[in-house]
Chain A
């Protein structure tokens, strides 16, 4: 592939597409750290003017990382669907933004378009969008997936129940699962980050979740977020694996730093599908991503952090995941400095993923050295709810005592469902009603003294 002519606007010039995208990106500390950010606000907007005139087709002929050097680039180019791309193939990036906001971009049209879009096109158009544009267009993108329940239907919001414990203590994990279920969380997945990445630890935790799921017939799925190679190992030992987890990124080099390659992901997907544990669908993968991951591995290849993040969604898309989670504020202030940058990044990630046809959720979160607090989380959570985010995270009291960061809580999810009239996944909502956790009006009002609650408590006591 060739590098085309440079880009310019007024007195500003940009030598190549990679530089143009970086300079057009909204300000964030990670791009400053990498030396890629625009040097002034004026240069940033000039880059956006220049970017608006770039034909979408140019992204198919000018790769940001050379085709020969990077398997993510090869996958993006080789899998591109030219027929799906046809409706927008003659547009520039600026025209594409106008089209996306217009009435022709219906949910149906956007669904058919997704395989024709590359992550670089999607990242480019996001850089020309205000937050409300990111929300308005994402809301039109419906990405529905299923395993034991159906996630991503319009008007619904699912929650990953994240019952982490610093030593994987079964009673501690069980107590947090119980708390989450009684607050209506857990329809996206009951997903534990293990303290130890070993096959034995993974199997023990999988059995713990599987037992409660079967005992009280919960229509949801489990996941222990160990390395993909650990999951492949325990599947060979017939462990009850519903979803296979892996952190992924947007370059081959960054994925190598995670100890993975694309064929491992394919192998894991095949193995998990082969277990046939899903009842209403067979999406078996759970991926996590986050802006800054590639740079922190020194594997960003000179690409700005938002664009390289979008490339991770192309990786995710290939393996038909049930869930893709951008862990937006976990990485720290050297990549996303404050609440404003975290909010923007969360909306960008959700938009880019959805436009590419990926079932996006978001871990709305922050660390204690970032300039952010619960008010910032409330804002982003609410915006993502409006944008139709598939799922968010539920951690007891928003405090993850294993990973030492603050996410959103079970209460936060109840708030969001309540103010926006969103329902849990339909199969899970029916179960919550049966358990007297949802009331007749669809509110989360658990009957803590009822028989169903006592059954749950008895399970927890046995753990």
Chain B
């Protein structure tokens, strides 16, 4: 980079625009007086609009269900106790509880499972629409035959904690929740994955493992699936999740390929 000062700068740009190769931060934007040039202003507005649309977009469980066509497990729809988006955003406690109908549905499918997968809208339905089904099938490819898998749930108006209720109701030893993360300005489609051993109401984040920023431009679904499958295997072996379960999946000795 030390030869950057010698680089030919395209005319009309902030001459330091070239520094942008080092960071995704919005540097070298130029200025008009003290303000932003029009194009930069509108770029920001578009990024914000996309992020907000991701937050407020209705979760289309049916379209996710269609993407899961061919999956060998039953698929159930559940809803949290938050009836709508405004309530959901202001009452995170309700987003962690099942509504009565969903609790009854899950009760009918209770069993003794190794794992329950939950695909949830969270704070970005877009992330779930775009990446959850694909990530789930990649995880299943990694797992092999030795896992008994509960019915897959599609959860609307869901916070991470809803997985505890779902896992407990289904009788699963482990929950793996794929949920839309709070969108950043440049990452409206980022999916998170939370693993919780022994799901039950009142679990805290210290009891969970998280794999974050799953999206094509971040941690790719392929890489995420390997990481998640590794954590699932270790979790089952150790009978726990959370701070005591370390992610060594980047160690090539532990992970194939």
Interface residues of A (CB under 8 A from B): 29, 32-33, 163-166, 169, 171-176, 178-179, 182-183, 332-334, 337, 367-369, 373-374, 395-399, 401, 404-406, 409, 411, 414-415, 417-418, 443-444, 448-449, 454, 457-458, 460-463
Q: Which of B159-212 contact A (CB under 8 A)?
A: 182-188
- Chain B CB within 10 A, most for which of A29, A411, A418: A411
Contact of B66 with A by CB under 8 A: no
Minimum CB–CB distance from A43 to chain B (whole Å) comes to: 20
Residues of A within 8 A of B23 (CB): 165, 169, 171-173, 175-176, 396, 401
7 contacts between A and B (CB under 8 A): A175-B23, A179-B16, A368-B51, A396-B29, A397-B27, A409-B36, A454-B5
- Chain A CB within 10 A, most for which of B51, B52, B184: B184
Residues of A within 8 A of B52 (CB): 368
Partner of A179, one of B19, B89, B91, B182: B19
Q: How large is the interface on B (under 10, 10 to 19, 20 to 34, 35 or more residues)?
A: 35 or more
Q: Which 10 A-B pairs have the closest CB atoms?
A: A397-B26, A172-B23, A404-B184, A179-B27, A414-B34, A368-B51, A461-B2, A396-B25, A175-B19, A171-B22
Residues of A within 8 A of B4 (CB): 457, 461
Minimum CB–CB distance from A381 to chain B (whole Å) comes to: 13
Contact of B93 with A by CB under 8 A: yes
Residues of B within 8 A of A333 (CB): 89-90
Contact of B216 with A by CB under 8 A: no
Q: Known interface pairs A169-B23, A175-B25, A404-B184. Does A369 touch B5 (Cβ–Cβ under 8 Å)? A: no
Contact of B72 with A by CB under 8 A: no
Residues of A within 8 A of B14 (CB): 448
Q: Which B residue's beta carbon lies closest to that of A367? A: B182
B2 pairs with A458, CB closer than 8 A: yes
Q: Which B residue's beta carbon lies closest to that of A166? A: B24
Residues of A within 8 A of B28 (CB): 179
B48 pairs with A406, CB closer than 8 A: yes
A99 vs B183: C-alpha distance when bound (angstroms):
46
B22 pairs with A411, CB closer than 8 A: no
A462 vs B51: C-alpha distance when bound (angstroms):
35
B25 pairs with A178, CB closer than 8 A: no
Residues of A within 8 A of B35 (CB): 411, 415
What string of 1s and 0s marks CB contacts (under 8 Å) between B71-100 and chain A? 000000000000000000111110000000
Partner of A176, one of B25, B55, B182: B25
Residues of B within 8 A of A460 (CB): 1, 19
Minimum CB–CB distance from A405 to chain B (whole Å) comes to: 8
Q: Which B residue's beta carbon lies closest to that of A167? A: B23
Contact of B147 with A by CB under 8 A: no
Q: Known interface pairs A368-B183, A449-B15. Does A33 touch B93 (Cβ–Cβ under 8 Å)? A: yes
Q: Known interface pairs A176-B27, A397-B40, A414-B31. Does A334 touch B90 (Cβ–Cβ under 8 Å)? A: yes
Q: Which A residue's beta carbon lies closest to that of B92? A: A334
Partner of B187, one of A163, A398, A404: A404
B48 pairs with A411, CB closer than 8 A: no
Q: Known interface pairs A182-B16, A368-B182, A374-B44. Does A171 touch B1 (Cβ–Cβ under 8 Å)? A: yes
Residues of A within 8 A of B93 (CB): 33
Residues of B within 8 A of A373 (CB): 48
A443 vs B34: C-alpha distance when bound (angstroms):
9
B5 pairs with A33, CB closer than 8 A: no
Contact of B123 with A by CB under 8 A: yes
A458 pairs with B5, CB closer than 8 A: yes
A369 pairs with B123, CB closer than 8 A: yes
Partner of B182, one of A369, A374, A395, A449: A369
Q: Known interface pairs A33-B90, A334-B92, A369-B123. Does A404 touch B36 (Cβ–Cβ under 8 Å)? A: no
Residues of B within 8 A of A183 (CB): 31
Minimum CB–CB distance from A420 to chain B (whole Å) comes to: 12
Q: Known interface pairs A169-B22, A396-B26, A399-B44. Does A461 touch B185 (Cβ–Cβ under 8 Å)? A: no
Q: Which A residue's beta carbon lies closest to that of B27? A: A179
Q: Which of B2-23 contact A (CB under 8 A)?
A: 2-5, 14-16, 19-20, 22-23
